[in-house]
Every structure is written in structure tokens, then in C-alpha cells.
């Protein structure tokens, strides 16, 4: 099984790059599944139904979320009706949508961390334990750990080692070079990175971000609107019998 996980898609530059690149990536890499984090897809925060449809039409199989999942209220019904879109599993009870998606032989679990995050969430470690206890064991399982703290992401990797195929971090938009196979066959990477404008600050307009840092005044941050774009992600190969990972490779490409 060959799976590509794409980091946070940021704004129109990232979204359009993914829509253009995924069909070729599926063919070039011989992919069985593509999973992408879409929580910054629409205007830099959140996701709207039309943009989700574009990603699915391009060949993305499952879209994961994060702390901006509920930015656009018109997306709430879509979360309820579309089984291939997730929001973090450990949102408090009553949040629209689901934290687990199933696609063929693939299960995707979406989690959100608690360290340095802007809201309070339920415990992701206990939430994923409860979910795994109810899920079939003969599937490939991918966990998107949407978190700020690298230590929290690494802890989740070790917590799930041997129980899932891949634990990959999202949220910081900066790709890490620590991809590896853990002791018991789980592939791990602290952050997949982003799909967005190369000349930006984590996908946002450079001048807007500099203004905020230099003046400390409230400044509206908007996604950078000019290319080229970068496509950051990880490619994982897994054994079809054991469902354990056998390799993990960074995929970092530039798209004009």
C-alpha cells in the first residue's frame, strides 16, 4: 500500500497547486490513497464545501481538519454529510462531524493537541485509545496529530507505535526532517509541512506578518497570493498483511 499525506493546504495558492499536482502524483508515485489536511484551505482559515469538492475531484481521498475546522458555518452540514472529511476526534461532545474516516482499507483518525493551542480540547491520547478499541484491526490506520508542540506529537507517535500505520503531525506548516520508522512498525514525522506559497511566512503574506511582529498592532493575516507553491508531505509504504509501515519518505516539490 502506498499512501501520500499532504500537509496543511493554505489558501488559493496551496489549493490550486494540490488540485494540479495530485493527479500526476497519484500516477508517478503509484498511490493507493491521498490524505490532505484542509483546515487552512479557504481564505487561509477553514474549509468551504466548494473547495472540499475540488480536492476530492482532483484525487484526494480524505480531508482532515484542525483548530480552524469550524471557521465557516456553511461547512457544518458538509461535515455531517460527507464521511471523507474529518474534524479532530477530541473536540468536546456536540461538535458537528466526525473524527474518524474510512476509505476502502484505510482508516484516518484526526486528533488535535492541547499544548499551546488556543482552545481547550479533550485528551487526544485517551480519545484515540477509545477509538482504536472500537475499530477493525485489519486496516491501514493513519493518524493526523494537529498540534503545536513537537513533544506532544512525538509522544503520540510513541503512544501509538505498533498500533497504527502512520502518525504524522500538522499545524505548524514547517516540514520536519525526522521521518522514521518507530520500533514496532509505525511510520512517524513530526510535521508534514504545508501546501502553499513558497515565498510566505507559513503560507501567509510576508508584509502582513512583518507588520504584526514589528508594530505589535492587530493585523489581519491573509494567505500569500502569488506562486510558486510548495507541496510538502510524506509518502508511506505499508505491508498489506501486517498493515505496518515499511518505509516513509519526504515528498517536497515546487509547483509553478
- Of 193, 203, 253, which Cα lies nearest the Cα of 13? 203
Is residue 256 pLDDT above 90, yes or no?
no
pLDDT, average across residues 35-53: 97
**What is the model's pTM?**
0.97
Cβ neighbors of 78 (< 8 A, separation 6 or more) are: 49, 52, 85
Domain boundaries, position 144:
2-255
Question: Which run of H or of E encompasses 195?
Answer: strand 194-197
Q: How far apart are CA 105 and CA 95, in angstroms?
A: 27
Show the cell assigned to 88. 479532530
Taking the alpha carbons at both ends of the chain, their separation in whole angstroms is 29
Q: Say which DSSP state 46 is in.
A: S
Higher-confidence position of 256 and 181: 181
In this structure, are strands 187-189 and 194-197 parallel, antiparallel, or unpaired? Answer: unpaired
pLDDT, average across residues 145-169: 98
pLDDT, average across residues 62-88: 97
CA distances from 172 to 58, 129, 150 (A): 25, 25, 9
CATH number of the domain bearing residue 145: 3.60.21.10
Q: How far apart are CA 191 and CA 177, in angstroms?
A: 8
Task: Look at the chain and report how many structural domains it folds into.
Answer: 1
Give per-residue pLDDT as tens, 71-83.
Answer: 999 999 999 999 9
pLDDT, average across residues 117-123: 90
In this structure, are strands 194-197 and 229-238 parallel, antiparallel, or unpaired? Answer: antiparallel
Q: How far apart are CA 201 and CA 100, in angstroms?
A: 31
**Is residue 136 packed enough to be buried (19+ CB in 10 Å), middle (13-18) or exposed (0-12)?**
exposed
pLDDT of residue 119: 81
Cβ-based neighbour number of residue 201 at 10 Å: 17
Residue with cell 484516518: 108
- Alpha-helix residue ranges (DSSP H) falling in 63-190: 76-81, 124-134, 150-160
Q: How far apart are CA 57 and CA 236, in angstroms?
A: 22
Mean pLDDT over each residue of the chain, to the nearest integer: 97
Is residue 137 pLDDT above 90, yes or no?
no
Cβ-based neighbour number of residue 107 at 10 Å: 21
3-state helix, strand, coil in the chain (%, to 5): 25, 30, 45
189 touches 182 (CB < 8 A): no
pLDDT of residue 94: 92
* pLDDT band at residue 15 using 50, 70 and 90 as cut-offs: very high
- Of 106, 103, 147, which Cα lies nearest the Cα of 125? 147
pLDDT of residue 174: 98
* pLDDT band at residue 108 using 50, 70 and 90 as cut-offs: very high
pLDDT of residue 227: 80
pLDDT, average across residues 116-123: 91
Is residue 226 pLDDT above 90, yes or no?
no
Catalytic residue ranges: 68
Is residue 99 pLDDT above 90, yes or no?
yes
Amino acid at each position: 500500500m502506498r499512501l501520500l499525506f499532504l500537509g496543511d493546504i493554505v489558501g488559493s495558492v496551496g489549493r490550486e497547486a494540490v488540485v494540479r499536482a495530485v493527479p500526476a502524483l497519484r500516477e508517478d508515485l503509484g498511490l493507493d490513497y491521498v490524505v490532505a489536511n484542509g483546515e487552512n484551505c479557504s481564505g487561509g482559515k477553514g474549509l468551504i464545501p466548494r473547495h472540499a469538492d475540488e480536492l476530492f475531484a482532483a484525487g484526494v481521498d480524505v480531508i482532515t481538519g484542525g483548530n480552524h475546522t469550524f471557521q465557516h458555518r456553511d461547512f457544518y452540514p458538509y461535515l455531517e454529510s460527507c464521511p471523507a472529511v474529518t474534524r479532530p476526534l477530541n473536540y468536546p461532545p456536540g461538535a458537528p462531524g466526525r473524527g474518524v474516516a474510512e476509505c476502502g482499507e484505510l482508516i484516518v483518525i484526526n486528533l488535535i493537541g492541547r499544548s499551546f493551542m488556543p482552545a481547550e480540547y479533550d485528551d487526544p491520547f485517551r480519545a484515540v485509545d477509545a477509538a482504536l478499541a472500537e475499530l477493525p484491526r485489519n486496516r491501514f490506520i493513519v493518524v493526523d496529530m494537529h498540534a503545536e508542540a513537537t513533544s506532544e506529537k512525538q509522544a503520540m507517535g510513541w503512544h501509538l507505535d505498533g498500533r497504527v500505520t502512520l502518525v504524522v503531525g500538522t499545524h505548524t506548516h514547517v516540514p520536519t526532517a525526522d521521518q522514521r520508522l518507530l520500533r514496532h512498525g509505525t511510520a512517524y514525522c513530526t510535521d508534514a509541512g504545508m501546501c502553499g506559497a513558497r515565498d510566505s511566512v507559513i503560507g501567509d503574506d510576508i508584509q502582513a506578518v512583518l507588520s504584526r511582529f514589528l508594530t505589535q498592532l492587530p493585523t489581519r493575516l491573509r494567505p500569500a497570493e502569488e506562486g510558486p507553491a510548495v507541496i510538502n508531505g510524506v509518502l508511506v509504504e505499508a505491508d498489506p498483511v501486517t498493515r505496518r509501515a515499511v518505509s516513509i519518505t519526504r515528498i517536497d516539490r515546487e509547483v509553478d
